[in-house]
Amino acid sequence: MSSMFASLLTVLFDGVAFGMILFLISVGLSITMGVMRVVNLAHCGFAMTGGYLTYALTAQMDLPFAAAVPLAVLGTMAIGAVLERTVYAWVYGQSELGQVLMTIGLTFVMIAAANALFGSSIQNIPVPQGLRGSVQAGPLALPVYRLFLIAVAAACGALIWFALERTEAGARLRAAVDNARMAGCIGINVKTLFALTFAVGCGFAGLGGALGADIFPLEPFYALHYLVPVLIVVSVGGLGSIKGTLAASLLLGLIDTLGRYYLPAGGGIVIYLATLLMLLVRPHGLFGRPA
Amino acid sequence: MNYAMNYALETRGLCKRFGAIEVTKSVDLKIEHGARHALIGPNGAGKTTLVNLCTGMFKPSSGAILLNGSDITSVSAQRRVGGGLVRTFQINTLFNGLTVAENLAIPVAQRLGRSWKPWGRSSGDAAVAADVVRLMDELNLLALASKKIADLAYGQRRLVEIAIAMALEPKVLLLDEPAAGIPNGESGMILDLLERLPDAMSIVFIEHDMNLVFRFARRISVLVEGAVLIEGSVDEIRKDQRVRDVYLGRRHHD
Amino acid sequence: MNLQPRTLLPAAALPHYRLGAMDVLPWIAAIVAFFAFDTYLSLGAQILVMVIFGLSLDLALGFAGINTLGHAAFFGVGAYAAGYWNLHVSPEPLGGLLAGGMAAGVVGLLSGWLLLRTHGLALLMLTMVVTVLLHEVANAWGSVTGGADGLSGVMPDPLFGVFQFDLFGKTAYLYALGVLFLVFLVVRTVVNSPFGLSLRGIRENTRRMHLVGASVHLRLVAAYALSAFLAGIAGGLGAQITRTVSLDRLTFQLSGDILIMLIIGGVGRLYGAFIGIPLYMLMLDRAAEVNPFHWMFFVGLALILLVRFAPGGLMALDERRRRAAQEGTQ
Amino acid sequence: MKFRLVPALLAGCSLVCGMSAAHADEVRIGVIASFSGPYSTWGKHIKEATDLYVAQQNGKVGQHTVRVIYKDVGGNNPARARQLAEELVVRDKVQYIAGLEFTPTAMAVADVATQARVPTVINNSGTSGVLARSPYLLRSGYTQWMVATPLAQWTAAQGAKRVFLAAADYAPGADAIAAYRKAFTAAGGTIVGELRIPLNTTDFSTYMQKAREARPDTMYMFMPVGPLSVAFIKAYVERGLDKAGIKLEATAETEESELAGYGDAAAGIVTALHYSPAGTTPANQQFVNGLKQKYGQDRIPNVGSISAYDSMQMIFQMIRATDGKRDGDKAMAAIKGYKWESPRGPVTVDPSTRELVQNVYIRRVEKVNGAYVNQPFKTYPAIRDPGTKVQ
């Protein structure tokens, strides 16, 4: 009986850890889609960029993990900012279809670039010794790296929440989300704000790509493989809602993990069925507002 | 039904709350057959909300709406149109990518029951085309027939906005600021149009242009803060001190 | 009043896609290709299948304004149904085609009924989720779909009992061309009809359409189901021509691909599919010959530039050029 | 404008057609593989090994020049595979087809091979019974039955009693599980649990939990080479199954080109396969060194390379037997019973099933000169495909 309970706890823990990585990768997309109303299918490409930068810095240039990850995040942000001011700026006024087309094109370019630079096989980001292995918590053996992931993702969530709710920049951003034209009228530099927000969103994705590489292996088609779950998280959570993205990530992580544990035969179906039902009941997501 | 007279459109104790804010407060409106009834009031008085409630775009918090004596409170917006209740919008709500003739062919085909036919010409048949031509002729739109809405001048779009409603041959027509945004010199165009509407059609209109209201309306309701302040004939309203205070007041106190 | 409506109205007022010299062009091109490129007919037949698929998408997306990332669901269901029909019911090809269309049409009807109450991003996501869900179902339901191995050994009988499906793809090509012609006639008739006009009305302004008294949801469901039916025909045709059905017919990626191809040609223009799809598929085929490792880079770059310089697709580019020329002469 | 284009195109086409009709003494081989898309590693390995073999033979069989024409199928896309096969036969007039990395693409090509009587050597398909689809099909790879059976026998011989089976949920996975189960239970062992894992899985920790709860002494896995295998093995280590004393067994998942992606996680995994690049025979030295000289020191052959290399060996033999003439039936008759010394060891084409009869090696992932390799330590000689008889 107690072993069954221990398994359940382990599965729950895995669900939470899986959800937190999804959160880390998705939260940037939720913010940028909420603020700029751009259907950005290239978002996972930024997560991949973060992963490959970390790989290049650690495995190829022998930098320590703790230095490589922040540098990779900054690098992803810079690439994001440049792209926002160029190709993304072209599609702000366009229809959703134009945005879909442009961002798919951008994804293709990213995949081809990753393939040309790093080859088509999987690259491993070496995790530092201190983060390997597991700790014993009662009957449970919890992997240290997953605990670390949960902690980082939770810290990021708290940071974003604080920045949005408690700072001047956050207030400006929320104003811009509500009404970009109005925000421009009251002296907010919307262009800079958007570029900055986009860069930050890409930065979080890059962090997710770098830290999550153990669960989402790094290869050129990363940018397309994990697009579906990320889009699901963002739309179930509701665009622009941090709370929603967190809730959706955890919910989907748990549904997926529990579904696979208790219903191994229908493992792949459960999550999509759940998503379908949630979106039918709440088309704007758990915490989203109608546009 | 023992009503000596039923109204073309009637609201009974109509209320609408958005959260804690009550935007429509127990409005009893009675629109007679063939009416020319103006709804006036300052900005934010709840005039457009009232139109939205009548046409089914909002659900009332309480109260009832009757069309020609029958309760339509829970009837869908689309069905109310079938019952003869049609509106226009303060902000042009047109089929921008289509031509003027197509903009009119859609409601005409809908009225004539041809809009589900999946073959044949888009104009349906001769009956639809003839009706579209007649409408455009009446509104002097024939020259613009093949222009897309996006290529029209603002005033011309305003005409199409009303023409779409007319194409449905409504029994009750709700016009939300038909002359909104039209330069003073050109509002005569709209007035001409309004004066040529069939007598049997009951018309409710929201308007800020007082010249237009006083020339065209026979009865006026004054809305203030979501409630009807007073209702009466043009002369009664013109003379009423409360209306002057509330609505025209500021000018007198300056 | 005794007006002769048609003489009073200029032709452009209620535009009817009149048949002109331009309408013969694609068909002549297809027939010339049959003789001139007789060793490319397998590729040609697959292009024709995708053009049918693209036309079906154009009906939903371009004319009814239904934004979807899930049209592969219908293509895939049609392919599986036609494949299953061929293996277990009858190898006669036309019946299989109809079975594919009907199966997809039913899925379109049901999913449309549920999904088409939403719009915008929610609709994009829901259509995508339906596709991945069906993909998972096909993967799990091995007894019918063959799971990840798909259906193989699909062997259609000779067409009309006479024309054997040959190695050169001659029968397949002409069969696909014939089906494309019929599908084109259906789509062309529907979008030009009063029903088609009401669909364009919904696309242009859903709110006003409600307040003209039109049953928007029903119309969208009808258009979506018809579009699904035609996509199912395309899927079934593909299954018969390639003699296999596999999970890749039912992927989110295929939905994306067909969307890209259609947008390149131009959405809501009837001939967009005829331009974008052959162009894209020929480009891919050539790229695969020249340098397959890097084709994605150039395709991606082309897409970005297309969005920048020809937002409405290639046909819109042509339209703009003509309009500019017109203004120049005035 | 438009009408001037058509004659130009016609002229261009006839030029191309005219050119392809020349060189009567050129024997053409079509290779269908994934040079783009998520599986492009396959295409790369296949092309390099194919080119190496042809170069080592100076591009000739006797007087006949051999030309290889590559076609990109871009992944597991049977519809495109069939189209390319038709084009190779119709337009490029090839006499042989090779390549093909997945069971569905192999099956899609089967009836083109029959119709055109073109001998076709499938490089990789793990499902038994595929060759029954056409009398012109050959396979230069292996089947899951071929490798899982000896592995289960070896495991039982080591004294293992309880084995847990985890396989990707598609046909080769089902074969892998069935083969292992049959051989292991026949040897007196117990299968304590079995999991079919969907191909869209990203997080394997839940499955590790299930496996752990079954308390096996050994876990046998089957996953497609690539992201799924990497994620599976990493989850195995992260969950501490290795520390809990559960040994991991696999087949092709630990191939050398992917080993770097595992970090240290793959160390100690025991696998069974028909080939190891660490083999020390002269034929293998020649093969491995040839690849390194031609493409760089970091090149290590994998199952795709060895299959492509040996498929060329088989095709060259058929060209010899038919003296370069197009005669599929004669070629097929000649290849049955063909024996040669491959880099993988001695190989025979089974005359009755057309499958290869070949050695299977039990290997362990070990660090040699600072890099992980699959070190073979036991040989099961001359294995016939047990799956073909079972079915």
| Of B183 and B229, more confident | B229
Total number of domains in chain B: 1
Q: Record the tokens describing residue C3, joined without a space.
A: 């007006």
Nearest CB among A14, A217, A257 relative to D261 is that of A217
Which H or E run contains C261?
A: helix C252-265
Cβ distance of B132 and C9 shorter than 8 Å: yes
Same domain, D125 and D216: no
Q: Provide the ipTM.
A: 0.85
| Cβ neighbourhood burial of C269 (10 Å; 0-12, 13-18, 19+) | buried
Half-sphere exposure of D45 (CA within 13 A, CB side): 28
Contact B70, B1 (CB under 8 A): no
Alpha-carbon gap: D79 to the closest alpha carbon of chain A (Å): 22
Task: Give me the mean pLDDT over the D344-363 stretch.
Answer: 93
With respect to residue D8, please indicate whether it lies within any of the assigned structural domains. Answer: no
Same domain, D228 and D315: no
Give the number of other CB atoms < 10 A from CB of residue D384: 17
With respect to residue B119, please indicate whether it lies within any of the assigned structural domains. Answer: no
Alpha-carbon gap: B54 to the closest alpha carbon of chain C (Å): 12
DSSP output for C140-209? H-HHHH-GGG-EE---PPPBTTTB---TT-HHHHHHHHHHHHHHHHHHHHHHHSHHHHHHHHHHH-HHHH
Cβ distance of C121 and A113 shorter than 8 Å: no
Task: Give me the mean pLDDT over the A211-222 stretch.
Answer: 85
Task: Give me the mean pLDDT over the B42-64 stretch.
Answer: 88
With respect to residue B161, please indicate whether it lies within any of the assigned structural domains. Answer: no
Contact D56, D85 (CB under 8 A): no
Alpha-carbon gap: C191 to the closest alpha carbon of chain A (Å): 21
| Highest mean pLDDT, choosing among A152-156, A186-190, B208-212 | A152-156
Same domain, D73 and D191: no
Task: Give residue A221's Cα distance to chain centre.
Answer: 16
Chain A residues with CB under 8 Å of D210 CB are: 261, 264
With respect to residue B27, please indicate whether it lies within any of the assigned structural domains. Answer: yes
Cβ distance of D90 and C43 shorter than 8 Å: no
With respect to residue B18, please indicate whether it lies within any of the assigned structural domains. Answer: yes
Q: For tokens 């998408």, what's the residue?
A: C57
Alpha-carbon distance of D144 to C134, in angstroms, equals 29
Contact D333, D327 (CB under 8 A): no
**pLDDT tens, residue by residue, A88-137:** 888 887 878 888 889 999 999 999 999 889 887 778 888 887 887 778 77
User: DSSP secondary-structure letter at A87?
Assistant: I
* pTM, two decimal places: 0.88
Contact status of C147 with chain A (Cβ, < 8 Å): no
- From B101, which residue of chain C is nearest by alpha-carbon distance? C13
Contact D191, D184 (CB under 8 A): yes
Which structural domains are found in chain C, ordered by start?
36-329 (1.10.3470)
With respect to residue D171, please indicate whether it lies within any of the assigned structural domains. Answer: yes
Cα radius of gyration rounded to whole Å, chain C: 20
Interface of C with D (CB under 8 A): 25, 32, 36-37, 39-43, 46, 136, 139-140, 147-150, 152-153, 155, 167-169, 238, 242-244, 246, 248-249, 288-289, 292-293, 295-296
Same domain, D64 and D82: yes
Model pLDDT, residue C292: 61
For residue A84, which of A183, A230, A186, A203 has the smallest C-alpha distance?
A203
With respect to residue B147, please indicate whether it lies within any of the assigned structural domains. Answer: no
User: DSSP secondary-structure letter at A58?
Assistant: I
With respect to residue B73, please indicate whether it lies within any of the assigned structural domains. Answer: yes
Q: Which of A51-60, A105-114, A176-185, A275-284 has the lowest mean pLDDT?
A: A176-185
Contact A11, A144 (CB under 8 A): no
Same domain, D130 and D195: no
Strand (E) positions, chain D?
A: 26-33, 60-61, 64-72, 96-99, 120-122, 137-139, 162-168, 190-197, 218-222, 247-250, 270-273, 339-342, 345-349, 356-368, 371-383
Q: Tens digit of pLDDT per residue, chain C (330 long)?
A: 444 455 566 666 776 666 666 778 888 888 888 888 888 888 899 999 999 999 999 999 999 999 898 999 999 999 999 999 998 988 889 999 999 999 999 999 999 999 998 888 788 889 999 999 999 888 888 788 887 778 888 888 787 877 888 777 888 999 999 999 999 999 998 998 889 999 999 999 988 998 888 889 999 999 999 999 999 999 999 999 988 898 888 888 899 899 989 988 888 888 889 999 999 988 888 877 776 667 788 888 888 988 888 777 776 666 666 666 655 544
Q: In what order do the strands lie in the sheet with B219-224?
A: B85-87, B172-176, B202-206, B36-40, B219-224, B227-233
For residue C78, which of C166, C179, C208, C178 has the smallest C-alpha distance?
C179
The contacts of residue A147 (CB under 8 Å, 6+ apart) are: A135
With respect to residue D258, please indicate whether it lies within any of the assigned structural domains. Answer: yes
The domain that holds D183 is classified in CATH as 3.40.50.2300
For residue D248, which of D125, D151, D359, D182 has the smallest C-alpha distance?
D151
Model pLDDT, residue D6: 43
With respect to residue D48, please indicate whether it lies within any of the assigned structural domains. Answer: yes
With respect to residue D181, please indicate whether it lies within any of the assigned structural domains. Answer: yes
**pLDDT tens, residue by residue, A2-42:** 567 777 888 888 889 889 989 999 998 988 888 777 888 99
The SS3 assignment for B73 reads coil
Alpha-carbon distance of C71 to C61, in angstroms, equals 10
Confidence of residue D4 (pLDDT cuts 50, 70, 90): very low
Alpha-carbon distance of A60 to C127, in angstroms, equals 42
With respect to residue D384, please indicate whether it lies within any of the assigned structural domains. Answer: yes
Alpha-carbon distance of A141 to C276, in angstroms, equals 55
Alpha-carbon distance of C281 to C33, in angstroms, equals 15
Same domain, D350 and D364: no
For residue C188, which of C318, C20, C55 has the smallest C-alpha distance?
C55
With respect to residue B138, please indicate whether it lies within any of the assigned structural domains. Answer: no
* Cross-strand partners of D61: D64
Same domain, D118 and D229: no
Model pLDDT, residue D278: 86
Alpha-carbon distance of B228 to B47, in angstroms, equals 10
Range of the domain at B179: 9-93+172-253
Q: Record the tokens describing residue C199, joined without a space.
A: 């669909």
With respect to residue D75, please indicate whether it lies within any of the assigned structural domains. Answer: yes
Cβ distance of C297 and A265 shorter than 8 Å: no
Q: Is D298 left (phi over 0), alpha (psi -120 to 50) or beta?
A: alpha
The SS3 assignment for A125 reads coil
Contact status of D93 with chain C (Cβ, < 8 Å): no
Alpha-carbon distance of C301 to A32, in angstroms, equals 23
Task: Give me the mean pLDDT over the A157-184 stretch.
Answer: 78
Total number of domains in chain D: 2
For residue D262, which of D301, D232, D242, D241 has the smallest C-alpha distance?
D232
Range of the domain at D180: 144-273+360-390
Task: Give residue C235's Cα distance to chain centre.
Answer: 10
Q: How many residues does chain D have?
A: 391
Chain C residues with CB under 8 Å of A278 CB are: none
| Highest mean pLDDT, choosing among A230-239, B97-106, C53-62, C120-129 | C53-62
Same domain, D165 and D251: yes
Alpha-carbon distance of C66 to D131, in angstroms, equals 46
**pLDDT tens, residue by residue, B192-230:** 888 888 888 999 999 888 888 888 889 999 888 888 888
- From B121, which residue of chain C is nearest by alpha-carbon distance? C193
With respect to residue B29, please indicate whether it lies within any of the assigned structural domains. Answer: yes
Same domain, D64 and D35: yes
The SS3 assignment for D196 reads strand
Same domain, D107 and D224: no
Same domain, D137 and D69: yes
For residue A188, which of A199, A174, A172, A177 has the smallest C-alpha distance?
A172
Alpha-carbon gap: C171 to the closest alpha carbon of chain D (Å): 14
Contact A42, A275 (CB under 8 A): no
Cβ distance of C294 and A116 shorter than 8 Å: yes
Q: Which of A179-183, C26-30, D152-156, D277-281 has the lowest mean pLDDT?
A: A179-183
Same domain, D85 and D206: no
Confidence of residue D173 (pLDDT cuts 50, 70, 90): confident
The contacts of residue D29 (CB under 8 Å, 6+ apart) are: D66, D67, D68, D69, D94, D95, D96, D97, D98, D312, D315
Mean of per-residue pLDDT scores for chain B: 85
Cβ distance of A264 and D231 shorter than 8 Å: no
Contact status of D56 with chain C (Cβ, < 8 Å): no
Contact D381, D274 (CB under 8 A): no
The domain that holds B86 is classified in CATH as 3.40.50.300
Cβ distance of A124 and D261 shorter than 8 Å: yes
User: Residue C110 carries which side chain, given as an amino acid letter?
Assistant: L
Alpha-carbon distance of B204 to B194, in angstroms, equals 11
DSSP output for C33-72? HHHHTTTSHHHHHHHHHHHHHHHHHIIIIIIS----S-TH
